[in-house]
Chain A
Amino acid sequence: MSADATVQEPVFTPARRAQLDRLATRYPNRQALLLPALWIAQRAHGWVTPAAIEEIAAELGVTTAHVQGVVSFYTMYHTHPVGRHFIQVCTTSPCHMCGSTEVVKALLEHTGCIDLGAQSPDGRFTVIEVECLGACGFVTPMLIDDDFIESVTPAGVPDLLARYP
């Protein structure tokens, strides 16, 4: 994910428009490109900016209100900037039963985040709890950016974080 400095850059550079046009051949209408387009925007800027929402609405021929509604529905789209590395840790029942609470504590301690959802003071991390990641046999699973990591223990947290400078 890139830094805030690039936020002013449009989502649909020629390369990213070409990516969208390739996807467009898969669907009978342009509205179906909305979830893919939001992913493209978030990968470009680190979050879905208000400008990106306008741009996508124009590109797909839907209203900005429609795009806003969709962005707010799906929890993986960020509507504000997040840390350079975004950590999503599962705490639903099967993980909770097997110790995810301690993993969350270790993550907060070692990232320096004062709370869930807050960026660490150095801007390096944001940690959130998420509902079931679908890896209940590999407690505790988490996503760090796009990396799916299984079987994290509190003791393993420092080494894991060191891989994300």
Chain B
Amino acid sequence: MGWPHPIHPRETPVLSTHFGEVEARTHAGWVARGGYEGLRQALTMSPEAITEVVKASGLRGRGGAGFPTGMKWSFMPKEDGQPHYLCCNADESEPGTFKDREILRWTPHALIEGCAIACLGIRAEVCYIFIRGEYTEPGRILEAALAEAYAAGTLGADAMGSGKRLDVFVHWGAGAYICGEETALMNAIEGKRGNPRVKPPFPAVAGLFGKPTTINNVETLAAVPQIITRGAAWYAGLSLSSPKSTGTKLISVCGHVRRPGTYEITMGLPMQDLIFDLAGGMHEGRTLKAVIPGGSSVPILTAAEVATCITDYEGIAAAGSLLGSGGMIVMDDTTDMVFQIMRLARFYAHESCAQCTNCREGTAWSTRVLERILRGEGQPSDLDLLLDLAENMTGRTICVLSDSCATPIVSGITKFRSEFDAYLSGARAPALQEA
């Protein structure tokens, strides 16, 4: 297992404080580090009070959409007499993103505690943590931590002696990116194909097993215990920039950098510093070409755009992209943009659930057109064709997988058109052999 890097002086460790400490994985070790104090406090609070604290902290969903967490919790019905459910999305599969994995394998109790507190906030007794089947190692660590939490009486029919039932269960996925989409995830737990559902109804009305459900990302839930113990004002004050982007964010940096890894930053750190200082910058003799800042589904930024970009929700949006999941793919000047965009399109084509025509056909045809360009068989009209396909893949389907495929294609053609033209004109030798 990869050991985490030493904490960089410009990181702000909140979630990552105990990454790398094997003892923090145990229940006793977690309690010794102040763990489960947030749950102890939350057990004395009303659901409204818990939700208000989270609302005031400004915490936003760390899975990609950035929706205010407290507001999401407040959508859950009150006094409706039905079971409520919490789902934790541990289906981390967005290319470039590997931050939840660090929480799962180093501080599983932070997540378990966050799940328990969130259950109290939304009036649920049961949480399912849906973890991707490939996360064998983090999943085993999480299951061991859960077993200890039950043995210690922290979870179960009488959680921490409160008389309240709090159950947290692991549900293993089996290989499907689309199950990271919230309603697909619910279908997977229900024993169905992971097809996203038409919304409305939204999960807070009819979610898992048709009951009111809240779904949150691992990183979001792991932040909750410290928000309870240290207060909303403390969390909201952890920002260098916008009052709309509070707290810290785990950014997983990969690709062509010297020190790939997961870095915890205060919102507002310049992206240039993140890449060149924290992640060590480019390899010898290389220069930065492009960054996909929020997982593969967001627009590509050029080096010039990166140079002035602030790393928070608003800053990256102002630069023309999205913070997304915080999975940052860094590309240097040796990168063949056409090939990498094709590779991403192939990913989405592989992962399409295929229920919507525009996605099933659009992702597949985009991939084929990009492949033929790379084989040197592209036609002059292919770029217009790709842009036309992209338009028909955006905003036309049940979920955003199809939009996600279109996004890097459009930004790639717009910002790196000369690389496409080089294949089309024959100036560049084919990168793919005949099919």
Chain A residues with CB under 8 Å of chain B are 26, 28-29, 31-36, 38-39, 60, 62, 69-70, 73-77, 88, 92-94, 96-98, 130-139, 143, 146-148, 150-151
Question: Roughly how many angstroms separate A37 CA and B2 CA in the complex, as a whole number?
Answer: 32
CB distance from A38 to the nearest CB of B (A): 7
B296: Cβ under 8 A from any A Cβ? yes
Question: Roughly how many angstroms separate A98 CA and B340 CA in the complex, as a whole number?
Answer: 12
CB distance from A54 to the nearest CB of B (A): 16
Provide 27 A-B residue pairs closer than 8 Å at the C-beta atoms, listed in order of the A residue.
A26-B167, A32-B189, A35-B174, A39-B172, A39-B174, A60-B191, A62-B191, A73-B176, A73-B353, A92-B347, A93-B296, A93-B347, A98-B254, A131-B350, A132-B347, A134-B92, A135-B2, A136-B98, A136-B254, A136-B255, A136-B260, A136-B327, A137-B2, A137-B262, A139-B260, A148-B135, A150-B1
B97: Cβ under 8 A from any A Cβ? yes
Q: Is the CB of B94 within 8 A of A74?
A: no
Cβ of B296: which chain A residues have Cβ within 8 Å of it? Answer: 93
Question: Roughly how many angstroms separate A119 CA and B93 CA in the complex, as a whole number?
Answer: 27
CB distance from B38 to the nearest CB of A (A): 25
Q: Is the CB of A74 within 8 A of B173?
A: yes
CB distance from A93 to the nearest CB of B (A): 5
Most buried by A among B137, B194, B253, B262: B137
Tally of contact residues, B, Cβ under 8 A: 56
Q: Which are the 4 A-B pairs with shortest beta-carbon distances?
A: A34-B191, A76-B175, A74-B174, A75-B175
CB distance from A102 to the nearest CB of B (A): 15
The answer to whether A92 and B343 touch (CB under 8 A), given A74-B194, A131-B350, A136-B327, is: yes
Minimum CB distance partner of B174 in chain A? A74
Q: Is the CB of A74 within 8 A of B175?
A: yes
Chain B residues with CB under 8 Å of chain A are 1-2, 83, 92-98, 100-101, 126, 132-137, 167, 169, 171-177, 188-194, 209, 252-256, 260-262, 296, 327, 329, 331, 335, 340, 343-344, 347, 350-351, 353
Question: Roughly how many angstroms separate A146 CA and B137 CA in the complex, as a whole number?
Answer: 8
Cβ of A70: which chain B residues have Cβ within 8 Å of it? Answer: 191-193
Q: Is the CB of B344 within 8 A of A93?
A: yes
Minimum CB distance partner of B5 in chain A? A137
CB distance from B336 to the nearest CB of A (A): 9
Q: Is the CB of B172 within 8 A of A92?
A: no
Q: Is the CB of A131 within 8 A of B331?
A: no
Q: Is the CB of A35 within 8 A of B188?
A: yes
Minimum CB distance partner of A36 in chain B? B172
Cβ of A33: which chain B residues have Cβ within 8 Å of it? Answer: 191
Cβ of A135: which chain B residues have Cβ within 8 Å of it? Answer: 2, 98, 101
Q: Is the CB of A77 within 8 A of B329?
A: no
Cβ of B83: which chain A residues have Cβ within 8 Å of it? Answer: 28
Minimum CB distance partner of B327 in chain A? A136
The answer to whether A98 and B255 touch (CB under 8 A), given A73-B193, A134-B97, A147-B136, is: yes
CB distance from A148 to the nearest CB of B (A): 4
In-complex Cβ contact of A150 among B2, B93, B94, B193 (8 A)? B2
Q: Is the CB of B95 within 8 A of A38?
A: no
Q: Is the CB of B177 within 8 A of A131?
A: yes
Cβ of B350: which chain A residues have Cβ within 8 Å of it? Answer: 131
Q: Is the CB of B2 within 8 A of A75?
A: no
Question: Roughly how many angstroms separate A33 CA and B353 CA in the complex, as a whole number?
Answer: 21
Q: Is the CB of A31 within 8 A of B134?
A: no
Cβ of A88: which chain B residues have Cβ within 8 Å of it? Answer: 134
